Amino acid sequence: MGLQAGRAVSLSVLLLFTALAGCTGLASTTPIAEISADQTSINLGESVNFDARSSSTPSPTIIDEYVWDFGDGEQKTTSTGIAFHTFTQAGNHDVEVVVFNDRGESDRASITIFVNSPPTIVIEKPGYVRTNQTATIDASASYDSEGGGVEFIWDLDLGFDRNGDGDPTNDADSTSSSIQVMYTNSGNQTGSLTVVDDNGATSTEIWSLMVVSRMFNVVWEEQHVTYEWSGYTEQGESTTHQHIPGQIGSRTNGARIMQVNATLVLDRDLLPIQWPEDNFTLRLNIPMTGWSTSSQTSHDNITLNATASIDRGDLNPWPDSGYTVSADSSDSLEQSLLNEAGARFGQGEWIWVITADECDPDILVDEVDPDSGNDWTLTIDYTILVPRVSEVTA
């Protein structure tokens, strides 16, 4: 081959190489795509900020378009190298950006985003429970779809702000997987459960529990209660006795008072009878009721002891007996029966005062009255009704 022929072959090879370089995209103007994210692991519903501004293209070309594919069916085109996206589907998402320069040349880069799904809440509870009866609410079957552990936060009463922060719906009354509750009031009781997985994702569910009243049989038991006091009171002095006739055990107002009969009897002097006899006054005051009355001793026959009486019946209406009624508890039912409007006469303390108004002189001994007072006995009989409440089992 001659020199001229060799130079022609070399030139042809050079031209062919240059053409092939342009066809394979290896020209010096091809852009280089890069992508980054402010976080690569998020919870469902959170957003990620993406940045492709580190992408480049050799001069004299410029990058004028970014096409984003977020791997969940959503796409976006921007003229700047930044974008954000909110993920509403759990799982791994390959987010890709395609960078174009002004000659239409492109490059692509991708990054994987993990989207954590919130835990699933499963609650088992009874259809209803009676007042003051324990109910178990179990959420131990709740789970994390990714297999991680979960934590529990129970608020047992959405109407009560237990932690005092002004929000009654964010109390942490229990952190167990199951709880036991008991409610004293009937009605629809409402609470919430929040389950948190190991990535901090949360799910919250409002639950309610129907609390129904109990059924009770009511019988009023009639009782008779007697008090008796005796003493000696000097002329012009008084003796006071206080008691609560309606007190049954530790309950101050445990009975309905229906009738009272009180009699004050003065002892007769042993010395020869003087006329007139000594004169005493019996007074009664019931502060809670606002009733007070009094009676003076008297006698129709000088051979009989002087007496004073206070009697009153039908202090309260007579109730029905032997019926069935619903209530949250036996205690609340008894309280409502004993505090029924128009049937509270005589509740609280009764104050009895015995006053020696006139103790007339007996036979003077050396011009001195040997007995300037008198012995007396006060007997009080009450008729009361005590409610007996028994639960009727279903």
pLDDT the model gives residue 302: 64
- Please state the CATH superfamily assignment of the domain spanning residues 128-212 in this structure: Immunoglobulins (2.60.40.10)
Residue percentage of the chain with pLDDT more than 90:
78
* Cβ-contact 270, 370 below 8 angstroms: no
pLDDT tens by residue, 58-109: 999 999 999 999 999 999 999 999 999 999 999 999 999 999 999 999 999 9
DSSP at 111: E
E strand spans, 140-186 = 150-155, 178-181
pLDDT tens by residue, 342-375: 999 999 999 999 999 987 655 555 555 556 788 9
Confidence of residue 19 (pLDDT cuts 50, 70, 90): very low
pLDDT the model gives residue 364: 52
Average confidence score pLDDT of the chain: 88
CATH code for the part of the protein at 216-391: 2.60.120.380
Q: What is the average pLDDT across 283-309?
A: 88
Which residue ranges make up each domain of the chain? 27-116, 128-212, 216-391
Burial 191-205 (b: 16+ CB within 10 A, else e): bbbbbbbebebebee
- β-strands 291-296, 279-286: how paired? antiparallel
pTM score of the predicted model: 0.62
CATH topology for the 27-116 domain: Immunoglobulin-like (2.60.40)
Residue 81, SS3? coil
Confidence of residue 25 (pLDDT cuts 50, 70, 90): very low
Confidence of residue 13 (pLDDT cuts 50, 70, 90): very low
Judge whether 27-116 and 128-212 match in fold: yes
Q: What is the average pLDDT across 5-14?
A: 39
For 248, counting Cβ atoms within 10 Å of its Cβ (0-12 exposed, 13-18 middle, 19+ buried), the class is middle
DSSP at 32: B
**Chain centre to alpha carbon of residue 41:** 38
pLDDT the model gives residue 330: 92
Q: What is the average pLDDT across 31-54?
A: 97
pLDDT tens by residue, 137-190: 999 999 999 999 999 999 999 988 988 999 988 899 999 999 999 998 999 999
Q: What is the average pLDDT across 17-39?
A: 67
Q: What is the CA radius of gyration of the chain?
A: 49
Residue 122's alpha-carbon distances to 151, 173, 263, 325, in angstroms, are: 13, 19, 72, 37
Q: Is residue 10 over pLDDT 70?
A: no
